């Protein structure tokens, strides 16, 4: 199956028709000046050859900049250390006070406690609201992340609702290009989604070999809050902790996923175990199978067809 890294450039194919029309128009203007049947016949023949070769060159240039991917190649990559991405739910339900002072404040305190245990691991922060927003890029400076956690409120983003699916996908994309031995997304949430479906993001993590830890905040009883639905009608809903839903969502990841409730005495130990902190001084080599990019082949074919156009079609009309 062929995929494209830059599929937006495929729209440039529509320029082929006006390009061809311009070539035909220019040739029609010059062929009247050609004297003799044989000369005209030769000129038409060269025009056809040149147009075919230049046309293919044009098409392969577009394919080249679109970066086609097919087949696979084996590469060896160096990996070291651990990377952790915090994903914090800052929706309205996280402001509920069924745990004191409220769910978000407890989540922030828990996040800072976990941060102190992560030693030399690099960490980042993504907010799970709307389509997901990267608040802090991956860094080893824990002070930056702690300051960002301290500043979080349920009003941190204007986007409405919670979309854990988009938040997890955003977090997976937010890991830096530095290749870590271990990558983990730690989610702080009550599981109350208004958009998306967290279970749909699991396949992304599985493909990228990213671990998932979900920490649940809230109680099974919960509290009632008022929200506006898509028709802008005010409704009263219960926002209890959705433990069963969160446990069910992570099942496909098997041993690479963990759900714990914030007040579980051994929760911090379990999280550290699954994150599996790696020493930054220890480097490993891993064999990776990646899609093969074919831009070079496309560019080479474009150059070959261009040269053939000049060689067999001549340089003039």
**109 and 224 housed in the same domain:** yes
Separation between Cα atoms, residue 168 and residue 170, nearest integer Å: 5
The label of the residue with tokens 């245990």 reads 117
Separation between Cα atoms, residue 12 and residue 56, nearest integer Å: 14
Is 142 a domain residue? yes
Q: What pLDDT was estimated at residue 66? A: 94
**152 and 60 housed in the same domain:** no
CA distances (Å), 19 to each of 38, 55, 181, 301, 307, in order?
27, 9, 50, 19, 18
Q: What pLDDT was estimated at residue 278? A: 62
**88 and 233 housed in the same domain:** yes
**Closest listed residue to residue 92, CA positions, set 243, 224, 260, 233:** 224
**194 and 141 housed in the same domain:** yes
**259 and 277 housed in the same domain:** yes
**101 and 60 housed in the same domain:** no
Q: What pLDDT was estimated at residue 74? A: 76
**194 and 220 housed in the same domain:** yes
Half-sphere exposure of 56 (CA within 13 A, CB side): 16
DSSP-derived pairing of the beta strands 211-216 and 182-189: parallel
Is 45 a domain residue? yes
Q: What pLDDT was estimated at residue 216? A: 97
* Cβ atoms 260, 271 nearer than 8 A: yes
**14 and 94 housed in the same domain:** no
**194 and 121 housed in the same domain:** yes
**222 and 99 housed in the same domain:** yes
Q: H helices within 32-134, ranges in order?
A: 37-65, 103-115
Q: What pLDDT was estimated at residue 285? A: 61
The beta strand positions in 155-282, using DSSP E, are 182-189, 211-216, 224-228, 234-238, 257-261
Its domain, for residue 116, covers: 81-282
pLDDT mean values, one per 10 residues, the chain (317 residues):
88 90 78 60 80 92 93 70 92 92 97 91 89 89 92 79 87 80 93 81 90 96 77 80 94 94 95 78 61 91 93 68
Is 106 a domain residue? yes
**152 and 220 housed in the same domain:** yes
Q: For the chain, how many structural domains are there in total? A: 2
Is 287 a domain residue? no
């Amino acid at each position: 199956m062929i995929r494209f890294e830059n599929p937006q450039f495929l729209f440039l194919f529509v320029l082929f028709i006006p390009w061809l029309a311009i070539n035909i128009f220019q040739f029609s203007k010059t062929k009247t000046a050609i004297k003799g049947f044989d000369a005209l016949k030769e000129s038409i023949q060269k025009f056809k050859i040149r147009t075919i070769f230049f046309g293919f060159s044009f098409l392969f240039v577009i394919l080249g900049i679109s970066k086609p991917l097919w087949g696979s190649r084996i590469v060896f990559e160096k990996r070291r250390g651990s990377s952790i991405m915090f994903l914090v739910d800052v929706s309205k339900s996280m402001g509920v006070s069924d745990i004191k002072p409220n769910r978000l404040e407890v989540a922030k305190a828990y996040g800072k406690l976990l941060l102190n245990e992560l030693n030399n691991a690099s960490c980042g922060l993504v907010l799970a609201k709307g389509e997901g927003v990267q608040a802090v890029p991956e860094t080893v400076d824990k002070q930056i992340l702690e300051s960002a956690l301290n500043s979080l409120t349920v009003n941190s983003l204007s986007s409405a609702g919670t979309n854990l699916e988009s938040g997890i996908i955003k977090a997976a994309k937010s890991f830096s290009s530095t290749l870590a031995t271990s990558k983990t997304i730690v989610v702080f949430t009550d599981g109350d989604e208004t958009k998306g479906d967290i279970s749909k993001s699991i396949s992304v993590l599985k493909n990228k070999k990213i671990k998932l830890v979900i920490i649940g905040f809230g109680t099974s009883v919960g509290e009632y809050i008022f929200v506006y639905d898509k028709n802008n009608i005010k409704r009263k809903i219960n926002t209890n902790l959705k433990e069963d839903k969160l446990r069910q969502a992570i099942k496909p990841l098997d041993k690479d996923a963990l759900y714990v409730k914030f007040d579980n005495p051994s929760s911090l130990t379990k999280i550290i175990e699954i994150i599996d902190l790696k020493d930054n001084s220890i480097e490993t080599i891993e064999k990776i199978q990646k899609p093969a990019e074919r831009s070079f082949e496309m560019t080479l074919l474009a150059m070959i067809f261009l040269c053939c156009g000049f060689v067999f079609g001549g340089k003039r009309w």
